[in-house]
Structure 1
Amino acid sequence: MACRGYFLALDEPRIALVLAQDGDDEGLIEVIKELDMTDVPDECGVDKAWDGIHRCLTEGRLGGEDGTYPLNAVVLGGLPLYQGDDYVVSYNTPAEVREVAAALTELDLEPFTAKYWALDPDEYGAVVDQGELAYLTRYLREITAFYQRAAKSGWASLFVADQ
């Protein structure tokens, strides 16, 4: 699989549909695939940048419990909905989306950049250079805009990545 990630905004009916799959990984992925083929309120593709962005917003590792809230909830720190190994699915409530949007809006890029340059390329699994940093910051701007739109509209968010 490609490890590409994306965010979906969820309104109330879609929140209920996703949360109704509690504990059913196969059902959850089917619902997500259906949402992908319909008009969700908003979406944001992030390619493989989600990994580096999460590491730079937290403590440099890849895990939902790394870092501090609300920045750790941007990508992986929300409620994990998928329990298997094939996907990562993380859910943030509308209230959490508002808090994440506010934190991203106020984000100082200097610590983000410092954490990026401190990444171990072997652990990160990618080269650490200026081009990769530009790639991450471009997608970080898109994620910030996504969260701002979702917060303004009162939507929840779902982050999805295949493994």
Structure 2
Amino acid sequence: MACRGYFLALDEPSVALLLAQDGNDEGLIEVIDELGMTNAPDECEVDKAWDGIHRCLTEGRLGGEDGTYPLNAVVLGGLPLHRGDGYVVSYNTPAEVREVAAALAVLDLDPFIARYWTLDPDDYGAAIDQDDLAYLTSNLQELTTFYQRAAQAGWATVFVVDQ
């Protein structure tokens, strides 16, 4: 699998469809695929940048428990919906989306950049260089704009990545 991540904004009917799949990983991915193709009111693709973005917003590691809220909820810190090994699906309520959007709106990039330069390339799985940092900050800008739109509309969000 490619480990390419994306976010979907979810209106109330979409949230109901998603949450109705509780415990049904296969049904969850089917609903997400359908929403992504036709019904999601907004989306944001972040390719593989999700990994570095999460690490730089938290403590440099992967995991929903790392860092502090609301920045740890940007990517992995929401409610985990997929229980198996094939995907990571992290859900944020509309209230959480507003809090994440507010935190991203005032994010000081200096600590983000400083944390980037301390990442262990072996753990991160990529070279630590200026090109990768530019890739992360560009995707972070798009993600920030996505969260602003979702917060303004009152939508929930879901982050999805295959493993």
Tell me whether the two structures share a fold, i.e. TM-score over 0.5. yes
Q: Determine the structure 2 residue equivalent to 1:20.
A: 20
Q: Compute the displacement of 1:119 (Å).
A: 0.1
Report the AA paired with residue 55 of structure 1.
R
Q: Determine the structure 2 residue equivalent to 1:141.
A: 141
Q: Determine the structure 1 residue equivalent to 2:42.
A: 42
Counterpart mapping for 1:84-123 below 5 A: 84-123=84-123
Q: Compute the displacement of 1:33 (Å).
A: 1.0
Q: Compute the displacement of 1:36 (Å).
A: 1.6
> For each residue in 1:88-129, what CA deviation from the matched residue of structure 2 results, as whole angstroms up to 9, or x when unmatched?
000000000000000000000000000000000000000000
Report the AA paired with residue 73 of structure 1.
A
Q: Which moved more, 1:30-39 or 1:147-156?
A: 30-39
Cα distance in 2, alignment partners of residues 67 and 124 from structure 1 = 16
* 1:124 equivalenced with 2:119 (yes/no): no
SS of match in other structure, 1:90: strand
- What is the TM-score of this pair, normalised by structure 2? 0.99
For structure 2, list consecutive stretches of 5 or more residues without a partner in the other structure: none
CA RMSD of aligned residues (A): 0.5
SS of match in other structure, 2:131: helix
Report the AA paired with residue 6 of structure 2.
Y
- What is the TM-score of this pair, normalised by structure 1? 0.99
Report the AA paired with residue 109 of structure 1.
L
> For each residue in 1:32-71, what CA deviation from the matched residue of structure 2 results, as whole angstroms up to 9, or x when unmatched?
1111220311000000000000000000000010000000
Number of positions where the alignment pairs a residue of Structure 1 with one of Structure 2: 163
Report the AA paired with residue 155 of structure 1.
W
SS of match in other structure, 2:16: helix
Cα distance in 2, alignment partners of residues 9 and 60 from structure 1 = 26
Q: What percent of counterpart residues are identical? A: 80
Cα distance in 2, alignment partners of residues 147 and 17 from structure 1 = 21
> For each residue in 1:6-53, what CA deviation from the matched residue of structure 2 results, as whole angstroms up to 9, or x when unmatched?
000000000000000011101101111111220311000000000000
Deviation >3 Å, runs of 4+? none
Report the AA paired with residue 65 of structure 1.
E
Cα distance in 1, alignment partners of residues 83 and 134 from structure 2 = 32
Cα distance in 2, alignment partners of residues 106 and 54 from structure 1 = 17
Cα distance in 2, alignment partners of residues 48 and 112 from structure 1 = 17
